[in-house]
A and B are shown apart, each in its own frame.
Chain A
Amino acid sequence: MDAVLLLIGVISFVVGLRVFLTKNRVQRLLYLCCLNFAISALIALYIKSPMGGVVAAAYFIGSTLSSNAIAHTIGKVQRLEGRGEW
């Protein structure tokens, strides 16, 4: 097993546990974004074919778009509830 693959796997496990255990919502979104990047890297390393790069790029673009949408909604909800002016 490769060293890079093992390192990405350990990072993914640690970040997945921290997504479940953290209470703050903004910090949780940050760890989720890191985990999406790790899964995209694992997909690109798992498939030994040029098609794997296409799948990894599609998943990367989709997860980044979705995380941006969640971050925008968190800002709007916090402004609606009146705490935190950002």
Chain B
Amino acid sequence: MKVGESGNVELLPLVSIFCIVIGCIGVILNTHYLDKIIMLEFLTGGLIGLIVSFYYLDVAILTSIVEPVSTVILLLGSLKYIYIKRSRRRYSSKLPVLGK
């Protein structure tokens, strides 16, 4: 498969490779959950652009339908996880007051 022929450089694979490299560094180095999920969204955008530049249009449609489902599941899970962690910390800090 020759995609970038006829001399000029194509712009969509270049932007997609840039998004994937920046997103890989960003997901690892950030520590808050929402920052990591935002960077994961960034990375998946790069993946869809690279799939489209290979002319696999059906795979691109399936990826862009399935990917928000995964993001919504991750967001609901992270919200419940933060709530459980805060609730447990508040409960354990209230325990010595009850013990007096």
A contacts B directly (C-beta below 8 A): yes
Could you tell me the distance between the alpha carbons of A46 and B45 in the complex, rounded to whole angstroms?
15
Q: A47-B57, A52-B57, A55-B52 are in contact. Are A42 and B68 (CB under 8 A)?
A: no
Nearest Cβ in chain A — how far from B76, in angstroms? 8
Interface of A is mostly: helix
Interface residues of B in 2-54 (CB under 8 A from A): 8, 10-12, 14-16, 18-19, 22, 25-26, 32, 34-35, 37-38, 41-42, 45, 48-49, 52-53
- Once A25-B35, A66-B41 are accepted as A-B contacts, the answer to whether A5 and B68 lie under 8 Å apart by CB is no
- Check if B11 sits within 8 Å of A35, measured CB to CB: no
Contact of B72 among A28, A29, A35, A69 (CB under 8 A): A69
Partner of A46, one of B12, B35, B37, B78: B12
Q: Which residues of B line the A interface, CB within 8 A?
A: 8, 10-12, 14-16, 18-19, 22, 25-26, 32, 34-35, 37-38, 41-42, 45, 48-49, 52-53, 55, 57, 60-61, 64-65, 67-68, 71-72, 75, 78-79, 82-83, 86
